[in-house]
Amino acid sequence: MNFFRTGLLLAALTALFLVVGHVLGGQQGMIIALVMAAGMNLFAYWFSDKMVLSMSGAREVSPHDAPEFHGIVAQLAQRAQLPMPRVYIIDSEQPNAFATGRNPENAAVAATTGLLNQLSREEVAGVMAHELAHVKHRDMLTMSIAATISGAIGMLGSLFMFTSMFGGRSEDRPNPLAAMALMLLAPLGATLVQMGISRSREYEADRLGAEICGNPLWLASALARIENNVRGGVPNYQAERNPATAHMYIANPLSAGGLRGLFSTHPAMEDRIARLQAMAQSHGPVTGGYAPTPAAATSPWGVRQQPPRQRGPWG
C-alpha cells in the first residue's frame, strides 16, 4: 500500500510540474527547466552520499575499529540479502542514524555515538535494520526523482521571471496575477508532496526493518528513546548547521518548535511506534531473527563522546 501511495504522490508531483510548466513557460520553458534540474540532481545522485557524510562529520570505521557495531550491521545485511555497506560513526550526543548511497552496492550507514551509548544492542539492531530497509527499497533513488521534479518546479518560476523581464511578446505571457500566485504556491505544494513521499517511505522502512531484525518492539523501543532525547533538547549540531540532511535521519534531528511537526519529513513518532507495536501483536518475533549476545540487554556500548578529529575506541 505504501508503494502504491508513493507512486501516486510521484504522479501528483509530475502532474503539478506539467501544470506549472504550461502556465508559466510553455513547452520550451518546461523542457529547459527540467534539463537544468535533472543535471543538478544527477550530480547530487552520484555524489550526495559523500556530501551528506562530510556535512554530518561522519568518520568511517572498520571491523577492527568497531567490531560490535560492524558485526551487527554485517549480520543484518546478510539477513536482508544486501551487500555489506560502509559503516560510519558521527560524534553527537543525540541518538540518531541514517543511510545514504545511490544503490545497495554503494550504500553507507551512519550512527551517532549517542545512539551507540544510550541504546541496547537490540535497539541498535532495530535502528540499523530500518536503515538497511531504506537501502533495500532504494529510497534514495525515489527521493532523487522527487527532488528533481520539485527542483524543476522552482526553476520554472525563476525562468518565468527572467523571460518576463528580458524577452518574449506580451501576448505570449500568462496572466501576471495567476502566474505570481502559481509561483508562490507551486513550490510549497511540491514540498508538501515531497514530504508525503518521504513519510510513506519511513513507514515502509519501519515495517521491513522490523522483519529484518526479527522483533518490531526493538525498533519501537529505539524510536521512543530517540524521540525522548530529541524532545528533551539534546542537540544534533551537525544537522542544525545543515538542515537539508534532516530528512535522511531515522528521526527528525532538528529542534524547530511548533513548525517542526508541520514541515517534518517524518511521520509522527507516536504513530510509528503504535504501528510497530500492532505488528508485534499480530506477528510476534520472527524466527531466526537477529541474535545479540546474552549481555545485550544490560551491557553498554561504551562509546565515549570524542571531539572532532580525535580517534576514540570506535575509530
Catalytic residues: 131
Residue type at position 172: D
Provide the grid cell at 226. 530517540
Cα gap 146→157, rounded to integer Å: 17
- Residue 84 CA, chain-centre distance (Å), reads 19
